[in-house]
Amino acid sequence: MLLYITLGTNDLAAAQKFYDATLLTLGIVRRATQEDEIGYGKAVPNIAGAPEADPNDIQLWITKPFDGRPATVANGSMPAFDAPTRASVDAFYNTALLHNGTDEGAPGIRYRPNFYACYLRDPDGNKISAVCVSPED
């Protein structure tokens, strides 16, 4: 349904460090680096089997606001990333905390069976989540 999502940042270098490490736990890599924004999408294997970015499929942009004003947190907004396993939700959560993310809810079952999720804030205060809906690993 969505083509991409954009999250604002006031410190692109700090956001890049956070998202490069945290999203890699879900197989998501940085595909674009520009002066005022960075873009992320799923890694695809190259011929040798190593991750290689597809530059035509960026689904998350982290950007300084176009209007030049400071980025602010959208109260009530939260992108949730699809995690392949519960272990990857745990890795996402722990890696985010190691890279200046803050806890908003540790990994665990919520809402219904097999909805294993964690909740965090990035260094700019944007709320994000990783969710695995598969049965336990």
- In this structure, are residues 18 and 123 in contact, taking their beta carbons and an 8 Å threshold? yes
Q: Where are the domains of the chain?
A: 5-132
Amino acid 137: pLDDT: 60
Q: Of 75, 51, 63, 53, whose CA–CA distance to 4 is shortest?
A: 63
Amino acid 47: pLDDT: 55
Which residue type, as a one-letter code, is found at position 5? I
- In this structure, are residues 116 and 133 in contact, taking their beta carbons and an 8 Å threshold? yes
Amino acid 84: pLDDT: 95
Which DSSP letter does residue 57 get?
-
Please give the model's pTM, rounded to 2 decimal places.
Answer: 0.89
Q: Which residue has the tokens 């998501």?
A: 28
In which residue ranges of the chain is pLDDT below 70? 45-56, 137
CATH architecture entry for 5-132 = Roll (3.10)
Amino acid 118: pLDDT: 98
Cα diameter, the chain: 45
